[in-house]
Structure 1
């Protein structure tokens, strides 16, 4: 929600700075998210003055340019080259002098005036058009003034520019009462102990009649009274109306446009602007209907049959439901014809236009439930629905109507041509909350003086009745829809007193310290197992006893010596396994011999090692892939498993375990025909690749077996359950590609690591999207590499991007004698 500092000062005396007001509001629960200075004309027109054109002659080198001399109130007139067709001697004009900063309409970049030469002629400023000053859109010619102000007078004085402060409040849904300048002023009244000064609306032009039923006629001096009928008092408990005739719809005065502009509201016309002004001043939405478009001179508040078509102000046809409350006229056939979706959005045909001369002004209290359902169903979030669906003040419609009528008379003329009709058959009652002083002290944690409690509640418009020594009844006005329980009233007292003023007790203690358990290994194991199963894998559970001859096949890669069983039952089960490879291969061989050759298997298991006569037990995770990666179907052919299928799966597991800052190197060639070892914190955490034929042939397996071996024990220790978040950059990323020719032995991983070491600040990712080896690249290969660059604080310029790419090119040429293909 947006609040104008100046507007707020009209309602309550404020001597504090906007920043101080922001702190006070935040302390009371209206969290201020930002404070911004707003200028009626961007830049404030500093360095822009009134000048007088003394001479105007054609530029000798350009037909469309003129050389002028302009008196701007200094000793020597300025020489200015001007291309406007309407410039002439004797004119009073607006001049931007050297050093002035303009913010032209339609340009995102400011214009800084400099002394320059234009076709050989010196120009010491600029004679300005409307759009160049930022005050209008016209660029037909320079702005010619009709003024007696002396030359050199600042343009800001002539235009009456002003500045204000926009206070942005993150309004919580329960604080509907604060959705206006008046609502915010009420909180400041309680905190600062200063009165709120609402404009006086007592005026003899108003006569107020309260209806005794749901149907009422508005008396009119035009002889055509408007009949108001509320057929659904559940959806519309209160409906107030007034007619104004003889007005002129035109542009709003500057003060009104500036007020709305400060809070981000676009000016439409003087009538609509006043209704928007009242909505944001008092929190009471209003709607103005063109009286001549109200068929039958009858306003009916009711529902209409489902699927009734209705064109809203945005020109879109919407189908109305029988649960949507509508403001209707009598229609041509006597059936209600919709003019407005009550509390949500106006209609296309009944609104105020430039031809409107009389209006019917509506001020109502609509049921929050009805408005909320309609707004959600249509997906419409307007200033009006925002307030109605949270709950407006049912006691505000009459005052808001009077305030609006007087403002309309001020800005549009006209006459109040009817009495105020107020249909309010079932008044909304105050909330009555029974209070105990003992509970106030208990919940706040501090005993507060009773006089302070009563004065605070009174300043919040909460009356006190039936007071005793220990209890009282709080009478809460209906606009405080969030204060209906004893705890709610106590919260009101505390937020005005100040949460920070409640001291911590010296005797405060705790019976226990919160438990911060370590990572649960079983839960992590289950998470990874579920990930693998979701990718089509089956889990194996194998015997830890194995054949001693297996260990000799890859003894160079094993830790220590095998752990021998003293009383083994057979030679085939005489040692503890030092790797999960062979138990997994035995499973693959068993399944392959039974025509199950497409296998995806994993195992959580332990390995056992005799290291210098000390037994070491390690937990590992193994993954096996062989056969077809995907089965043949009518829409897709089968294909064999490839290395990158396994690599993608390994990356998924590491991502699930939050392993970062990894390095890669070539895997052990005793185990792998080719493969990769990934290191985290300089320690190997997983090795994966295609198993050597010497290992698979031992079990008579002819198929290619892809295998991954994780150090599960270490991965568990590295896992951190804390959630890390990094703000997404608001600025776009940039991609640049290079084709790099290097020696055939150079891997992409080496190129990737050098890239990150070279450009640490901007480089976000490196990817290879093509590799080429051919006869024309003898002993070489070409990598096509993409680089993603991004800055968190600003948009990258071509200059910065080119500098970064040149650093990368130089690094590749230096480290690998690379040739960059153009």
Structure 2
């Protein structure tokens, strides 16, 4: 939210500097995220001066150019300036941009003035037109000033440039009281009253001059009092729509609002002044002499001010004419057919209080994040609708010549009563740690316009203003008190108390960091992808997809149901930038729903593509493949103390051409495999991609049940044996591994598969050969060949009996 320093000072009788005001705003919870300079004319005409044209003659080499000598009042020799304007003449007072100054034209980018040669003549500056320096729209000739203005006068003095500073405030959703300049001023005033003993009040706009008109034949009807608790309005006549005065345009431009016309600008001005959105309707376009606030049938077509046709939802609250034709989406956006234009002479001014939830749903449903919607969805103040309406009417009378043509319409069927909260002063001290007295607490409450009633024994009944819709509990009230008291006044303790809270072992965050360190050390890069993805990546109509209304990017419209497509999108981004060797991992969440319940699951995802090692004169290129992925998964499970995960081939999987299910003791940890071409094609990836998706919660749970035992490295040498075993085609290596480990006991260090061979002619039909490596050791002695041979013989016997394995 943008707040103008000059605008804010209109209401505050203080002389705080910009820096001090920034500190105060931040201390009261309105964090200033940045401060930028603003000038009523871009660039502030800095470096531009008034000059007097002493001589003006034709350019010797150009018919449409003139060569002038201009005195800029600096006591130096006159400037030689080449000018192309047809109206330049000797004796004129003009605006001159000297060498080194910067010009900010109405159109195009700013540019610096430099010394130049134009058709052979030196030029040391520029004589400016209105359009060239942003003070007007005339571009037919140079500006000719009053002859009484002295040469050397700064151009900014001639045009009364207003300089300002704009606070960029990070307004939190709970600050419904600070959505306007007056709201911010009231908060600042409360702080300076408590902390600086300031005694003056806010300079509120004067409304005493407002006089309503006579009763007229015009009706207003609310059909949904919950969605519209209060609706105020006024008819105005004899309005002359035109350009707004400079002061009004400057105020709006300073906070980033675009001036449109005097009526629309006044409604926007009052919105940012009071925090009360208004809307102006062209009275001639309201059929039936009346307004109805209601909902229309789902699918009703409505064209908004941005000329887009929208289909309404049955819950959208609409402002309709008496014939129930839509004029405006209540609290969100106006309609194209009822807006104010240059031909408008009579108005209906709306000032209403709409339900925050209703506006928020409609705003997000139609992706319309307007200033009005942002205020209403925080919770506008129902007690200021008439004040804002009178303020707008007075300004329209002053600026556009309009006058009230009706009585004030004010429908308020169930007035909102201020919330009353019971507050214990001792509770304030306990929660804040600040040594506030009861008197100080009451003073702070009164400074925030809260009424109090003492009930004795440190108990207060506090009436909360209706503009603080988020203050509903004692804790909320304590927070309000502390904001104004000052967080920096809370004393620090000289001691630190740390509770000893037992937690689960191992801690998933510590394990996560350890796994991330390991994968990064192996050359993988950690990614942090968005939780929002495109529904186009998935099969249409999938019930488990969690759809959202993303107002900032319509294409990212679902919460990701897996980490696969996020990883592929990241790969595609890098591959399109010629980064072909990719090793990525992510620890993140997926989202799905079933029977209306949304579930979050944590995953560890690994994605490989391209070469693992690019190769050099010392080593060959080593491409990433399925075995690289499996080895990586085994390494990290071993790091977590999870021994011997089983890899069971997948018969069919929507993600993979081939792959395996990873499990331990019958519990699935995840899947790994080569991503199918059809899946890669969604992201326009033609390279091979290998992907593993591990259930992070199950990994942690399995690691918690595993006891990691360390043992010293044996000082005795190991013995290695290789076996070529012929088995039936359906026998998996894990079966061989299990038998070898059981037969060899603790003396088997490792069992590995280094080759699979198939040949029907040599091995027979339905047969294959596994090349198995076994490593033996004894921590107490050196193993002899006879001992190893005896163990191998025992293993071969078991393999033959259990699997029918034969030694080649």
> CA separation in 1, counterparts of 2:480 and 2:395?
34
- Give the deviation of 1:454 after TM superposition: 0.4
Q: In structure 2, what is the equivalent of residue 726 of structure 1?
A: none
> CA separation in 1, counterparts of 2:661 and 2:424?
65
- Give the deviation of 1:464 after TM superposition: 0.7
Q: In the TM superposition, what are the counterparts of 1:469-488 in structure 2 within 5 Å?
A: 469-488=457-476
Question: Which deviations, in whole Å up to 9, do the C-alpha atoms of 1:250-287 show, x marking residues without a partner?
Answer: 11111111111110001111111111111111100001
- Give the deviation of 1:360 after TM superposition: 1.3
> CA separation in 2, counterparts of 1:124 and 1:510?
71
> CA separation in 2, counterparts of 1:432 and 1:114?
67
Is 1:201 paired with 2:206?
Answer: yes
Is 1:141 paired with 2:141?
Answer: yes
Q: In structure 2, what is the equivalent of residue 550 of structure 1?
A: 721
Contact 1:576 1:608 in 2 (8 A): yes
Q: In structure 2, what is the equivalent of residue 17 of structure 1?
A: 17
Q: Secondary structure at the match of 2:10?
A: helix
Q: Secondary structure at the match of 2:42?
A: coil
- Give the deviation of 1:463 after TM superposition: 1.1
Is 1:262 paired with 2:254?
Answer: yes
Structure 2 vs 1, CA of residues 371 and 590 (structure 1 numbering), >3 Å: closer, same or farther?
A: farther
Q: In structure 2, what is the equivalent of residue 386 of structure 1?
A: 374
Q: In structure 1, what is the equivalent of residue 356 of structure 2?
A: 368
- Give the deviation of 1:552 after TM superposition: 13
> CA separation in 1, counterparts of 2:300 and 2:661?
58
Q: In the TM superposition, what are the counterparts of 1:274-673 in structure 2 within 5 Å?
A: 274-330=266-322, 335-506=323-494, 509-512=497-500, 519-520=510-511, 524=515, 529=633, 536-537=659-660, 548=719, 550=721, 583-585=752-754
Question: Which deviations, in whole Å up to 9, do the C-alpha atoms of 1:601-642 show, x marking residues without a partner?
Answer: 999x9986989989xxxxxxxxxxxxxxxxxxxxxxxxxxxx
Contact 1:177 1:480 in 2 (8 A): yes
Structure 2 vs 1, CA of residues 91 and 476 (structure 1 numbering), >3 Å: closer, same or farther?
A: same
> CA separation in 2, counterparts of 1:483 and 1:22?
25
Q: Which stretch of the first structure deviates more once superposed, 59-68 or 345-354?
A: 59-68
Q: In structure 2, what is the equivalent of residue 83 of structure 1?
A: 84
Q: In structure 2, what is the equivalent of residue 93 of structure 1?
A: 94
Q: Secondary structure at the match of 1:396?
A: helix
Structure 2 vs 1, CA of residues 414 and 520 (structure 1 numbering), >3 Å: closer, same or farther?
A: closer
Q: Give the TM-score normalised by the residue count of structure 2.
A: 0.65
Structure 2 vs 1, CA of residues 597 and 7 (structure 1 numbering), >3 Å: closer, same or farther?
A: farther
Q: Secondary structure at the match of 1:144?
A: coil
Structure 2 vs 1, CA of residues 346 and 540 (structure 1 numbering), >3 Å: closer, same or farther?
A: closer
Identify unmatched segments of 5+ residues in structure 1.
208-217, 554-568, 615-698, 702-822
Q: In structure 2, what is the equivalent of residue 124 of structure 1?
A: 124
Q: In structure 2, what is the equivalent of residue 735 of structure 1?
A: none
> CA separation in 1, counterparts of 2:464 and 2:410?
23
> CA separation in 1, counterparts of 2:233 and 2:312?
24
Is 1:189 paired with 2:189?
Answer: yes
- Give the deviation of 1:139 after TM superposition: 3.7
Contact 1:4 1:262 in 2 (8 A): yes
Q: In structure 1, what is the equivalent of residue 214 of structure 2?
A: 219
Is 1:246 paired with 2:238?
Answer: yes
Q: In structure 2, what is the equivalent of residue 644 of structure 1?
A: none
Contact 2:718 2:775 in 1 (8 A): no
Question: Which deviations, in whole Å up to 9, do the C-alpha atoms of 1:73-103 show, x marking residues without a partner?
Answer: 3554332111223333444321112332223
> CA separation in 2, counterparts of 1:315 and 1:34?
35
Contact 1:547 1:574 in 2 (8 A): no
- Give the deviation of 1:230 after TM superposition: 1.9
Contact 1:310 1:317 in 2 (8 A): yes
Structure 2 vs 1, CA of residues 590 and 424 (structure 1 numbering), >3 Å: closer, same or farther?
A: farther
Contact 2:242 2:400 in 1 (8 A): yes
- Give the deviation of 1:41 after TM superposition: 2.3
Question: Which deviations, in whole Å up to 9, do the C-alpha atoms of 1:212-270 show, x marking residues without a partner?
Answer: xxxxxx835xxx54222222222111111112211211111111111111100011111
Question: Which deviations, in whole Å up to 9, do the C-alpha atoms of 1:448-490 show, x marking residues without a partner?
Answer: 2011100101111221124312312111122211111111111
Structure 2 vs 1, CA of residues 205 and 280 (structure 1 numbering), >3 Å: closer, same or farther?
A: closer
Q: In structure 1, what is the equivalent of residue 30 of structure 2?
A: 30
> CA separation in 2, counterparts of 1:307 and 1:479?
35
Contact 1:548 1:575 in 2 (8 A): no
Structure 2 vs 1, CA of residues 504 and 122 (structure 1 numbering), >3 Å: closer, same or farther?
A: closer
Q: Give the TM-score normalised by the residue count of structure 1.
A: 0.64
Contact 1:58 1:65 in 2 (8 A): yes
Q: In structure 2, what is the equivalent of residue 649 of structure 1?
A: none
Contact 2:26 2:32 in 1 (8 A): yes
Alpha-carbon RMSD across the aligned residues, in angstroms, is 3.9
Structure 2 vs 1, CA of residues 358 and 602 (structure 1 numbering), >3 Å: closer, same or farther?
A: farther
> CA separation in 2, counterparts of 1:486 and 1:137?
57
- Give the deviation of 1:424 after TM superposition: 1.0
Q: In structure 1, what is the equivalent of residue 682 of structure 2?
A: none
Q: In the TM superposition, what are the counterparts of 1:1-12 in structure 2 within 5 Å?
A: 1-12=1-12
> CA separation in 1, counterparts of 2:746 and 2:352?
88
- Give the deviation of 1:291 after TM superposition: 1.6
Structure 2 vs 1, CA of residues 299 and 577 (structure 1 numbering), >3 Å: closer, same or farther?
A: same
- Give the deviation of 1:520 after TM superposition: 4.5
Structure 2 vs 1, CA of residues 550 and 44 (structure 1 numbering), >3 Å: closer, same or farther?
A: same
- Give the deviation of 1:204 after TM superposition: 4.7
